[in-house]
Structure formats: C-alpha cells, structure tokens
C-alpha cells in the first residue's frame, strides 16, 4: 500500500501528540490550536517551543498578548523549562505585545498587524528561530466586530509566518466544546492545520482530549485522543486509547 | 419502467461518487460542494479537475482564494497528481486570487467579481478547459454582511460559469454538520446542484459522509454515504454501504 | 353528518396530493409551497402547471427568478412534459425574471413588484391562463432585511394573483425542516393556503413528506404524508400511509 | 368551600370552550388568542362573533387586516354562519383594514392606530355591538421592529376596546408551539386574558389543543385541552379529556 | 448548632411562603418577583399588601403600570380583599402609572423614573406605608433596548424603595420557565432578593412552583415548591412537598 | 514523581476549597469567580477577605458596586464576621463604588476605570492590604455593548491588581449554568485563574458546586465539587465527594 508523499513534518516533541499527527506539524506551515479557557492552549504553545529547543535545538519566538513574558517564564519553569537560561543563550525570545495593550486605550477596530509582523520577523532573524508561538490572538480579535476582518488579518498573520519560513502555532479561543467553530466563526477555515483542545465536563468531572481536525496536504490520525497534564511531563497524549480502539495496522485519516 | 430523460452527466472520476450521483455531475452546470473545515472540500475540488485530466483528458481551471497555487500543487502531489506537469502541458491552470487578497487591505463589502469572472473566462479559453473548480468563496463572502448580496454574487458566478460552458464545482463553508445550511443561509438555494461533505464526531471518532442533496433535472441517489480519504486513491465513497442498505434494483431518489 | 360548504377546488393532478387536499387547491386562490433546498418546490410548481395543461387543458404561466426558462424546460422534459410544445400552442408561457436579476447590480431593498405583477397579468391574459406558478420568491426577498416589508410585498403578490382570477402556487424557502416557519418568519401567515414539503435525514437516509398546513375555508387532511419522486410519474404522494394509519370513514382536519 | 367572586363572564358559545373558561370570557374585557399559522385563530374569532349573534343575539364587529371581508364571509358560510344576512340585519359589520394595507406602500414604523380605533368605535356604536374580533394584528405589528412600540400600541388597542364596553378577541401570531411567547415577545403580558391555540406535529400527525393561560380576576381550568375542527360544528373542545383526567369535584386553576 | 444572625424578616402572610422564606422577606429591602405571563406575579404583589393590612395592620402602596387600579380592586375583591374599604381607611393607596402610559405616545428610551419615585414616596408618607408593590416594570423596561440602562434604572428604583424604609416587591417578566434569567438578562443580579414563579406545561397540564433564588444576608429554603391558586385562600404553597422530601431537622440553604 | 514547582499559594481559608485549589489561590494574582445569581459569588468574595483577616491576619479591601458597604457588613455579621470591628482596626476597608452609580445618570460606554484603580490603590496602601475583593463588575460592564471593551477593561483591572502586589478576587456574572462562558463571552479568557460557582436545579432541588477551571502556572484539582452554605461556617466544600470519587494518591489536574 503506497502512502501519501507527505509534507515534511516537524516533531513537536509533545508526548504522544506526534503519533496522532503522524510525525508532527507540517514544516514551515502554521497550525491553529483552538480551545476553551483552560483547555491547554498556552501549555501547547509553550511546549512546542520548549521541546523544540530541548530536543531539536531549534530556537523559538514566543509572542504574548495578555500574559506577560514573566507569566510564561514562571509557568514554564514549573514544567522544568529554563526559559530565562534559553533567552540568555539566544534560543528563546519573547515578543511581548501585552505591554502595548495595557499602555494605551484601545481603539475598537484598530491594531497595527503590520508592526507586529515586523517585530516577529526581526526577532526570528535575530535568533534564527525555527519555531514561533503566538498566544493568543483572542485579545486583539475581540476588537473587531466583523468576521470578515478577523479572517483577513488572520490570513495575513499566517501568510507572514510562512514567509518567515518558520513552523508556527497560533492559538485562538472557542466558546463551547462541541458546537460550531472558533470565536469568530472563521478561524479554522483560514489556517492549513487545525488542532482542537477540549476540556469537557462529564458527570462533574473534566476530561481532556486533543483532536487534529485537519493537516492540509498531510496525513494525521482522526478523532479525539485523551490527554492529561502531567506535573513532570506536561501534555501527555495517551497512546493507550489508540492501542485499545484501533488496530495498529490501520492508517486511516 | 421508464426513466427520466436525464441531463448529460460528466463523470467526476472520484471513486464511488459517480455511482451516488448516477453518472456524475450535470454537464455544463455548476455544483456547490459545502462542508465544515477539513471535511474534504478542497480535496473534492482538486480531484474533480485531476481526474478529469487523467481519465477523460479534460483540461481544468483551479481558482484559489486563501490557499496558494503552491499549496494545491504540493497537496495534489501527495495524491499522485502531477499538477506542474499538467500546467506545462496546458491541461491545468491556476487563477490565483489569493495573492490579491494578501496585497491590499480589504474593504468590507467590496470585491471585483466582474474582474474575477473575466480572469476565469480568459484562463478557460486559453486551455480550452472543460472543468473549473473554485475553492473557496468563503473568504470573499465573509466580507458581505447581507445574505442578499451573497446570494446575488453567487448567482452571478454560477451564471458566469454556465455561460463559459464548463462543468464547475464551487466550494462553500458550513458552520455545523447538521443544522441549517451554508454560512450565509442562502448558498444551497441558488445553485442547481448541491453536495454536502460531513465529518462528524461520534464517540470521539470522526466519520465522513457525502450526500447529494439535489441535482436539478437529474437523477441521483439520496441519503448519506460513507467515504474515506485514502492515501493512494484520495476520496473513496464506499459502495459497501450501498449494497448492504439498499437492493440494487431500487432506483429511488 | 353535514359537511362544510367547501370552496371550489382545483385538482392539481399531482398523484395522491389531491386526496390529501380533499379535492385540490382552493380555486382562484394562492397557495404557498415552502420547503428546504431540494425538497421539491420547483417540481411541485412545474407539475401544478403541467398537469393542469395535460389533464384539464388549463393554460399556465410560470414565473422564474433564479432558474432560467431553459432550466425549467429541460427539467420538465425529463418528466415527460413537453413544455416547448405547449409554449408553441399558447398553453404555457414563462415570465422570466431571472434575466433581469443577472443584468444589473441589485440595490438592496428595491425591486419593482408592480412591474412584475403587470408582466404576470399580461402573460395571463395573453394565453387565458388559469394557473400561475411563481418559483421562488427567495431570491428577491433576500434583499429585504425587514420581515414587515417581505410580508407586505408577499401580500401584494397574493392579492394580485387573486385579482387575476387564477389559482396560483408561490414557493418560498425554509431553513430547517421542523423549526419555525419560512425564511422571513412571516410568509405562512400571509397566504390563505400553505403546503410544506419536507426532506429530512433519518439515520443517513432521506425521507420526503408533504403536509397541508392550512387551507382557509376548505377541508383538507392533516399531518405529514410520505411521497417519492418517481422518474416516470414525478411527485407521488403515497396513499398507503393513509390507508394504514386512518380509517377511511374519518374525515378529520 | 367559598368560590371567588368572579368577573361577569360572556359565554363564547364555542363548543366545550366555555367549560374550560368556566363560563366564558370576562365581560367587557379583551382576550388575546395566539397561535401558529393554521392553529385556528381566525376560526375562533369568527365563531366568537357568530355564536354571539346566533345564540345570544349580540351584534358584533369583525376587524380584518390581511383577509378580506369576502374571505371571512365565505369561510363562515362553510360553517353555516350566514354573515351577509347578519350584515343586512345590522348584526355583523366588518371593519376592513386590509384594503388600506394593499393600496399604499407601507412606511415601516407607521400606522394610524388612532384612526383604526375611531373606525371600530363608529362601527360598534352603529350596530350597538357587544363583541369585537380583531384578526390579526400580525400584519401591522410586523412593521415595528421594537417590542416596546408593539407593547404600547397593543396596550392602546386593548384599552380602546375596553372603553367601548365590548368583550373582544384579538389574535396574534406565535412562531413556535411551545417555546417563548408571541411574535414580539410582549403580547401575552399586556392583555388581561390569554388563550393559546396549538397545532403540533407528533409522529407525522397534527394534534390541536387550546389552553387558557390566564384570565385576570377570573376562574378558568388550566392545561391543554384537545379540540377538533368539525365540518358541522366548527371548533369543538373535547370534554372527554376533562372527564378522564380530572375529578369533576376539583376546581383548581 | 449556631444559626446565622438573620436580617429581620417581614412575614408576607402568603400561605406557606413564609416557611420557604424562613420567616418572610427581609425587612426594609426589595424583593424581585419574576415569572412568565400568568405565573402569579400580580397575585403575589396584591397578596403581599393585602395580607400586610389584614394580618399585620401595615398600610401599603400599590404601583400599577398596565393594569388599572380598578382591575386590581376587582381582582382582589374576588379573593375577598376589600381594597376600596382599605383605601377609604387610608391603609391602601394606588400609584396608577398606567393612565400616563395611555395618554401620550411613548418616546422610546425615555421615562421619568425620578417623578415615579417621588410619587411613590409621597404616597408612602401619606399613609405611612410599610409595604410597596410595583407591578410590573415590564411595560416601561420594554422601551429600553440596552440591558445597561434597565440595570441602572432598576437599581435606582430598588435604592429608592430602600431609602423609603419600606419592604417592597417588584415584579418583572420572564420569557421562558427554565432558561436564562429575566427579560433583560440583568434584573436578578441587581436586586437583593429574588423569587421566581413558574407555571410549566408537563403532559398538557400546568404545574405551578415558587422558588426563593436568593435572599442576600438571610436564610431561606432552596429549590422549587409546588403551589396552587385557591379560590378562597389565594396563593397556597404546599407544605406537604416539604415534609415528604426533606427531614425537618435539616436547615440547608 | 516530581511535582510542578508551583506558584506560591495563598490559602483562602474557605472550608475545603483550598484542598481543591491545592493550597489556595496563586499569590499576588487575580482570580475570577463567576456564577449565576445567588450562586455564592459575594459570599466567596467576603469570606476570602474575612478568613484572610481572621486566620492569617492579612488586611483586605472590599470593592462594591451595587451592594452598599452596609449590606456587606450586615451580611458578613450573619456569618459571624465583625467587619465594623475590623474596619476600626484598619484591617478591612471598603471602596464603595455603588454610591457613585446611584448619584448620576450613567453614560453608556463610560466609566472612569483609572479613577477606580487609583482609589483601590490608595485603600490598599492605607491599610497595607494583602487581599482585594471586587464584587461585582457586572453592573459596570453592562454599560459596554462590545466584548472587546469589556475584555480590555477587565485586563486593565487585573493588571492593576497585580501591580499592587495583592491577591485578588473579581466576581462576574454568568447567565446560564453550563452553556458558554461569562456574560460578555470574554471574561474567563483574560484572567489567570478562574473559579465557577454553580447552582443548578435538578428535579426541583438546588445543588451547588464549585469548580476550579484553571490556575495558570499552578496545580489544582479538576471537576465540580459539591458545596453547601452553612449558617455557621459559610461556604463548605464537601471533602466526602473527593474521597468517594477519587483515590487520595492520584494528583491529576
Ligand atoms: N504550571 C502548571 N502546573 C499545573 N497545571 C497547570 C500549569 N499551567 C497550567 N496548568 C493547567 O493546565 C490547564 C491548561 O492551562 P493553559 O493556560 O494552557 O490553558 P489555556 O487554554 O491557555 O487557557 P486560556 O484560554 O485561559 O489562556 C489549566 O487547567 C491549568 O490550570
Ligand atoms: N495530502 C493529504 N494527505 C492526507 N490527508 C490529507 C491530505 N490533504 C488533506 N488531507 C486531509 O483530508 C481532509 C480534508 O481536507 P481538505 O483540505 O479537502 O478539507 P476542506 O474541507 O477543504 O477544509 P477547509 O475548509 O479548511 O479548506 C482533512 O482532514 C485533511 O487533513
Ligand atoms: N428531472 C429530475 N429527475 C430526477 N430527479 C429530479 C429531477 N429534478 C429534480 N429532481 C430531484 O427532485 C428533488 C426536488 O428538486 P426541486 O428542484 O423541486 O427542489 P426545490 O425544493 O425546488 O429546491 P431549491 O430550493 O434548491 O430550488 C431534488 O432532490 C432533485 O435532485
Ligand atoms: N371552512 C373551513 N372548513 C374546514 N376547515 C377549515 C375551514 N377554515 C379553516 N379551516 C382549517 O382550520 C384550521 C384553522 O384555520 P384558521 O384560518 O382559523 O387558522 P389561523 O390560526 O387563523 O391561521 P393564520 O395564522 O394563517 O391566519 C386550518 O387548518 C384550516 O385549514
Ligand atoms: N381572581 C382570580 N380568580 C381566580 N384565578 C385568578 C384570579 N386572578 C388571577 N387568577 C389566575 O391566577 C394566575 C396568575 O395570575 P396573575 O395575574 O397573578 O399572573 P401574572 O404573573 O401577573 O401575569 P401577567 O404577566 O400577565 O401580569 C392566572 O392563571 C390567572 O388566570
Ligand atoms: N447571611 C446569609 N445567611 C444565609 N444564607 C445566605 C446569606 N447570604 C447569602 N445567603 C445565600 O447564599 C447564596 C449565595 O448568595 P450570594 O449573595 O453570595 O450570591 P451571588 O452569587 O453574589 O448573587 P448575585 O449575583 O445576585 O450577587 C444565596 O442563595 C443566598 O440566599
Ligand atoms: Mg492561554
Ligand atoms: Mg479547503
Ligand atoms: Mg427550486
Ligand atoms: Mg387567521
Ligand atoms: Mg400581572
Ligand atoms: Mg453578589
């Protein structure tokens, strides 16, 4: 059985996820990671960069909006990632858009996306970054009442990332676990690759799943996969579920 | 039992689909292919052209909005379709509307549909195309807040395609699998032929179905049909489901 | 048991339907036929005229908006209705409003309903038509954001048809099978007679039903009745369902 | 057990309904009759006047908006009510607001309710009417986008009717059988007495029920009561349901 | 087991309700009574004043908007409350805001709440009222499209009532029994004490319940309690339900 | 098994809650407490400060909007918290924003958040507060129609609280128990830590649960935990539920 001539894949290094994504995220492309609050978007974005540095020596740029660089540093430290050390080594750099947001009153419907792209580009070149995480566009997109504008700007950001040659992760917000798509009803359609993190209540308990909804031009496993957030290992996608439900031979998408 | 004097049909060449559509898509008409993100719209649009060339030697024009021609080329390559080769042979040509979108800031409520139709017409004449795929109108329609305008413009595009004499596929976006119709609530009503691709979660697993909702003036099988995306053969509508559920003699619509 | 002194009824000639409508549609009145896409509205409107000519020698006017006269001709031909022949004999005539729509850019909130009524009136007088089908108002009504305007214009069209003395069928669009009413939330309330065509998915299969929701001042059977679209006979409402579920003696509404 | 000192009641004469309303509708007050299309609102409004004349010799005024006086006359005739005869005898008179609607283009947000009230008042005095039916306000209210305006105008009409000293029925439209309230979300709250007619699909069949939702200051039975539309007797609320479900002694509300 | 040092409570005198509210409504505070049409809001508001006079000799002010004072007088008479007598004795007085509404066309977004508060204040002082019922704010609030304004004005009314030193009941409208909150989505959050009256259809029959949703700073029983409207005793909350479902010892909230 | 290097935690002192939050709320951060009306938001905000003073001698600032300082004092007294005494000792101080709201008519879309932050800062410094409770932002946010503005202002308040170095609780309003997020659809995404209080009706009875939805950078238990409001002890999260459903050894998040 001949397989697709897949796009090059970049292993995320996130435990178990690369098996679901059949090798990782498409190299040089952008992946949307969408989820409700607390579903693990920031953790995914952080691990994507951190494991890139720790396991594959690929420098990364982390773009924040509402959380400060310090928040991310501390958060990552709790998972054993020495961000400050990596910053000193020129392996990790922050583009902190959050300061800007706080300084000045926002004008609804305005944001300098061109300037943002320029700053990300500069940071990328400075440390020769291979990975970029943008977490999250929710704050900025909340200013735009029209889905059409959100769609256009997201398209520009994705195109910008791909022109930089980096593999990138962009997080966006979902309002409910299973209904509809992301907040502005357009996000998933714009981006080549989409991962959804879910965190749903079933009989008073939370259950986390990850799903690769699409990888344009590349193979991936379908359906929801259980994961946990382990104090030691961070995001851990559970391969047991895979083994139980599906024969290893099958390679459906 | 006398059968309808059906419209001429153009076999798509998509495995199993032409059985559901009882011969293929109506010749010289436009077909709307609608689905949620990752449901297989682009794959359908690509295969429609590629199989046209490979199996029936019918040249085709592929119109893209958000994905670049390169994205489509690479994607198709993974399914074994040598698009670049076909471009060199004058059998496949791209009308790449995506570049335009990225260059300039969009003005909400404006898009030069007349210009687009002219470009598609020129490309069609240049390679004597018999098939056109337009994937997807979602990006442009997102700019129009009013269903009435979307309806009118979609009507114009469909009319334009039929005046060119080509058999065409236009993809649009659905927000949910089973509720309502396409994004702007009018798309399905405007176009003569409608195919819906679904990709729904059932107990954590994805299941894909295709349904021919209507072919104006032509026979087709009704209901949802399972399909998979095979690494080797692309979209494969499963005839087994047909055999099990329905006696071969029945020809209901 | 005395029965209602019913309005005169015009048999549609549609197989099985006149039994459900207890004789047919009220003579000289307008009937709204509403349904989702592909539910059979156009087929109903076509058969209403075609059977009027074939079985009762009543000439008819067919008003189209988005489908062209040629589309309808070809579609009808597949059901064995020789529309062109009838046109030549002065038994069928088209008022083709679709051309107009395509020529000029629409101005939202504007449409010359007076002109349309005049054209329908002229056509009716020219061939002494007894039946008129208007299929469908969806395209024009999409331009009006306010239910109040739709309601008023639909009221005017219905009043215009009744002043012409014809029995008429007007089709409108529903967005979902069972929730609410037609697209603009007012259509059913305005018209004296309402028929709903449904086409719902149940376990991956489509099932078609027709329901006479009301006939003002006239008897009809209540509830949903199964129908199929037969290649030879067109719309066929299934009398079996009637026999099984209801004693023939009962004449409830 | 002492009973409420009830408001005077006017028996409607509608078969079985006066038992549910414990004597009829409150004298000199207005009652809202609300229902989906085809639920029987017009029949109720017609019977209320017709039985008032036939059984209690109380003259009545019928106000129409979208249906013409002729429609009502013919409809009533089928139920054995000789409206024209009564008109000649000065027992029934129409205030036909429908003509006005058709003559001139409507201006959204404008309607001369003062003039309407004056015309109803004049008609009432001319024939010394004791009952007024207004069927239906839906057409006029569709012009007002704001619930607040609808509420105020409905309030004025109700107040106007009560100043005339007549017992009146006003019909309004509901969009769905069980969810929410009437079309504009305010109607039921404004009027002292509310009756809802339902006509719901259960397993492809229609079932009709009537419910007295409230009678301010007066007793009534609660819950839904089955009714049928009998060719001979018109609306027939079925007392069997009453006998089976409730002990005759209980007098709950 | 030590109990909360509860706020002073004012017994409403409504049969069974004071047990649910553990003594009655918080003294000197305002309580929101919300429900769908016919749920018993006006009855609650009337009984609150009437039982205050009859059982505790506390004069009361009744503020009406859409119902006239005469409506309330007659309604109360049917329950055996001699309002006119009490008015003569200076124990009950009406502030009739309904007349004002009917005289003049309303300007959307305007209402003189300051003037209303002044009139209530004057009436309160004139008869040394201890209780005030305001029934219902729905009519006025319908004029305001923005929840923010409704919230602010309701806040002002509540504050005004508390400055007068009276214990008050304000009724507002709910659109559905179990979904969401009151009509404007803010009412329950503004007021210290909230009671919901429900009247839901279960298998064609109505069932009434009352629930104390919150009493800020005071104990109350939780959950829904059945009640009936008794011709002799008015609102009767059924203590049986209490006895059956809960051990008398438990005092949870 | 190595555990996360957690953020410092501040025990709330609320019975049972600190076990769910694995030590308490992250020190120096802001926590959003969201719930429907009567769910216990104000109680949580009061206890957070009161137990801080009583058990850990940490002074606190309480910011009120719609409830007055007196309301809170009295409410707290019923739970045995001597607020006035603490105020005299400089351990508790109110920033009473409610007066301002009542004095002047609100201008939709305007509120001096800068001034509020300044007043909170001054109060914090005056008593060297370690904890701040803001209850609730609902009143102010109701004035802003756009989610983008609410998001920005909430972001500013949270940032302001963290700059003051205090651990803070901000309450916001939810419209339904399980659907969607907070009133403006953005609140949960902005704040680092989110707790949801639920109070749902199941078979006529209320059941209360608390859930820690996320603590950014810190461990917490997942899922819903039952709690009651005890007259003596206030909020009591029930550890039994924990013991029954989960083995004590597991430390999942
Ligand atoms: N350092 C940590 N240690 C333990 N658990 C953590 C840590 N950081 C986050 N978590 C938990 O992991 C889950 C995912 O957190 P994360 O911040 O990635 O969510 P998110 O999807 O980015 O949410 P938001 O939309 O609010 O930004 C949350 O439940 C959170 O409480
Ligand atoms: N070359 C490929 N090899 C394997 N799987 C692929 C390939 N290209 C696409 N897929 C998968 O096929 C499915 C359909 O993809 P496709 O791009 O056709 O969806 P779509 O409906 O066009 O989505 P969108 O609305 O996002 O454009 C996705 O799950 C995707 O991951
Ligand atoms: N000539 C034909 N032969 C066989 N089937 C047909 C023919 N014409 C239509 N059909 C089928 O009959 C069904 C009803 O078609 P019809 O065009 O009447 O629907 P419609 O309600 O008018 O839809 P729309 O809202 O899209 O105009 C569709 O499923 C269609 O595929
Ligand atoms: N003369 C009649 N003979 C038999 N059935 C009738 C007659 N008139 C009406 N009906 C039936 O009675 C039902 C109620 O009709 P009615 O006109 O009262 O409804 P409605 O609620 O006023 O509807 P709409 O909102 O469309 O005005 C309908 O199903 C209709 O078909
Ligand atoms: N005097 C009375 N005798 C018997 N039943 C009555 C009396 N007054 C009211 N009722 C019934 O009591 C119920 C509650 O009536 P009430 O007027 O209190 O409702 P409401 O909630 O105020 O409604 P609305 O929102 O329409 O004002 C209704 O079903 C009504 O029919
Ligand atoms: N002092 C008290 N004694 C007993 N019960 C109380 C006391 N204060 C509040 N309660 C109850 O505790 C519950 C929670 O009240 P709380 O005021 O905290 O709710 P909330 O979420 O702040 O509501 P809102 O959104 O209306 O402000 C309510 O049911 C209330 O009746
Ligand atoms: Mg995050
Ligand atoms: Mg696509
Ligand atoms: Mg059609
Ligand atoms: Mg009617
Ligand atoms: Mg009331
Ligand atoms: Mg509170």
Average pLDDT, rounded, for chain C: 84
Mean pLDDT to the nearest integer, C188-199:
92
Say yes or no: F178 contacts chain A, CB-CB below 8 A: yes
Determine if ligand 4 sits within 6 Å of the CB of residue D38: yes
Q: Which of A90-94, C183-187, D238-242, E200-204 has the lowest mean pLDDT?
A: D238-242
- Residue A100 CB burial class (10 angstroms; 0-12, 13-18, ≥19): middle
Mean pLDDT to the nearest integer, D13-37:
94
Higher pLDDT, C206 or F93: F93
Which residue's CA is minimally distant from atom 3 of ligand 4?
Answer: C218
Mean pLDDT to the nearest integer, A32-42:
94
pLDDT at position C59 over 70: yes
Of chain F, the percentage scoring pLDDT greater than 70 comes to 84
- Substitution candidate for ligand 5 out of D7, D211, D214, D223 with most atoms within 8 A of CB: D214
Give residue E238's pLDDT: 87
Cβ contact C156–D36 (<8 Å): no
Tokens of B42: 């682009």
Q: What is the ipTM of this complex?
A: 0.84
Mean pLDDT to the nearest integer, B127-137:
96
Touch between chain C and chain B: 3 or more Cβ pairs under 8 Å:
yes
Residues from chain C contacting residue D231 (CB–CB below 8 Å): 1-4, 219, 251, 253
Of chain F, the percentage scoring pLDDT greater than 90 comes to 55
Give residue F249's pLDDT: 34
Distances E227 to B24, E17, E130 between C-alpha atoms, Å: 65, 9, 26
Say yes or no: A67 contacts chain F, CB-CB below 8 A: yes
pLDDT tens-digit series, residues C25-49:
999 999 999 999 999 999 999 999 9
Average pLDDT, rounded, for chain D: 84
Residues from chain C contacting residue B183 (CB–CB below 8 Å): none
- In angstroms, the separation between the Cα of residue E185 and the nearest Cα of chain F is 7
- Substitution candidate for ligand 4 out of D39, D47, D80 with most atoms within 8 A of CB: D39
DSSP state of A101: H
- Dihedral (Cα; C1, C4, C8, C13), 10-degree rounding: -60
pLDDT tens-digit series, residues F22-67:
999 999 999 999 999 999 999 999 999 999 999 999 999 999 988 8
Give residue D105's pLDDT: 53
- Dihedral (Cα; C165, C167, C168, C174), 10-degree rounding: 130
What is the position in ligand 1's atom list of the atom closest to the CA of A173? Answer: 25
Determine if ligand 6 sits within 6 Å of the CB of residue E131: no
Residue F109: pLDDT band by 50, 70, 90 thresholds?
A: low
Does an H or E element contain F134, and which?
Answer: strand F131-135
Determine if ligand 1 sits within 6 Å of the CB of residue A16: no
Of D69, D113, D77, the closest CA to residue D95 belongs to D69
What is the position in ligand 2's atom list of the atom closest to the CA of B79? Answer: 1
Which residue's CA is minimally distant from atom 25 of ligand 5?
Answer: E37
Tokens of F237: 């999260």
Give residue E249's pLDDT: 34
Residue E22: pLDDT band by 50, 70, 90 thresholds?
A: very high
Average pLDDT, rounded, for chain B: 84
Give residue F1's pLDDT: 31
Cβ contact F67–E223 (<8 Å): no
Cβ contact B222–C204 (<8 Å): no
Higher pLDDT, E222 or E30: E30
Cβ contact B74–A2 (<8 Å): no
CB of D189 closer than 8 Å to CB of E37: yes
Q: Which long-range contacts (CB under 8 A, 24 or more apart) does A115-119 make?
A: A116/A63, A116/A157, A117/A156, A117/A157, A117/A160, A119/A95
Residue F133: pLDDT band by 50, 70, 90 thresholds?
A: very high
Give residue E46's pLDDT: 97
Determine if ligand 5 sits within 6 Å of the CB of residue E234: no
DSSP state of C15: B
Higher pLDDT, E24 or F112: E24
pLDDT at position B123 over 60: yes
Touch between chain C and chain E: 3 or more Cβ pairs under 8 Å:
no
Distances A51 to A91, A229, E95 between C-alpha atoms, Å: 12, 15, 72
Of C75, C109, C69, the closest CA to residue C93 belongs to C69
Q: Which of C41-55, E182-196, F234-248 has the lowest mean pLDDT?
A: F234-248
Give residue D91's pLDDT: 98
Other C-beta atoms lying within 10 Å of the C-beta of residue A56:
13
Residue F244: pLDDT band by 50, 70, 90 thresholds?
A: very low
pLDDT at position A238 over 90: no
Higher pLDDT, E129 or C1: E129
The highest-confidence range among B246-250, C170-174, F204-208, by mean pLDDT, is C170-174
Of F67, F61, F64, the closest CA to residue F86 belongs to F61
Residues from chain B contacting residue C139 (CB–CB below 8 Å): 151-152, 155, 189-190
- Substitution candidate for ligand 6 out of F32, F33, F35, F43 with most atoms within 8 A of CB: F43
pLDDT tens-digit series, residues D82-129:
999 999 999 999 998 865 544 455 555 667 888 899 999 999 999 999
Rounded to two decimals, the pTM is: 0.86
The highest-confidence range among B92-101, D240-249, E106-115, by mean pLDDT, is B92-101
Higher pLDDT, D244 or E75: E75
Residue A180: pLDDT band by 50, 70, 90 thresholds?
A: low
Higher pLDDT, F154 or B145: F154
Residues from chain F contacting residue A142 (CB–CB below 8 Å): 147-148, 151-152, 186
Provide the sign of the torsion angle of the four alpha carbons A63, A64, A69, A71, taken in this order: negative
Q: Chain D neighbours among E 223-252 (CB < 8 Å)?
A: 228-229, 231-232
The highest-confidence range among E205-219, E239-253, F80-94, by mean pLDDT, is F80-94
Cβ contact F78–E218 (<8 Å): yes
Of B34, B11, B22, B3, the closest CA to residue B170 belongs to B34
Backbone angles phi, psi at E69, to 5 degrees: -55, -40
Residue C101: pLDDT band by 50, 70, 90 thresholds?
A: very low
Q: Which of C64-78, E132-146, F1-15 has the lowest mean pLDDT?
A: F1-15
Say yes or no: F198 contacts chain A, CB-CB below 8 A: no
pLDDT at position F233 over 60: yes
E1, E181, E214 member nearest F232 (Cβ): E1
């Amino acid at each position: 059985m001949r397989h697709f001539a897949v796009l090059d894949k970049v292993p995320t290094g996130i435990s178990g996820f690369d098996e679901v994504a059949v090798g990782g995220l498409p190299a040089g492309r952008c992946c949307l990671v969408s989820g409700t609050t607390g579903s693990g978007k920031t953790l995914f974005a952080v691990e994507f960069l951190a494991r890139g540095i720790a396991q594959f020596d690929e420098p990364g740029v982390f773009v924040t909006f509402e959380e400060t660089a310090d928040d991310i540093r501390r958060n990552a430290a709790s998972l054993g990632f020495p961000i400050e050390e990596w910053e000193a080594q020129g392996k990790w750099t922050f583009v902190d858009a959050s300061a800007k947001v706080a300084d000045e009153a926002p004008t609804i419907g305005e944001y300098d996306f061109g300037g943002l792209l320029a700053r990300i580009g500069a940071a990328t070149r400075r440390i020769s970054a291979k990975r970029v995480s943008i977490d999250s566009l929710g704050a900025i997109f909340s200013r735009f009442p029209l889905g059409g504008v959100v769609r256009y700007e997201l398209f520009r950001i994705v195109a910008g990332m791909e022109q930089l040659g980096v593999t990138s992760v962009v997080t966006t917000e979902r309002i409910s676990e299973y209904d509809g798509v992301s907040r502005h009803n357009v996000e998933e359609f714009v981006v080549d690759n989409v991962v959804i993190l879910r965190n749903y209540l079933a009989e008073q308990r939370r259950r986390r799943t990850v799903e690769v909804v699409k990888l344009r031009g590349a193979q991936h496993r379908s359906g929801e996969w259980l994961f946990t957030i382990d104090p030691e290992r961070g995001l851990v996608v559970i391969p047991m579920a895979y083994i139980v439900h599906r024969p290893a031979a099958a390679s459906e998408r």
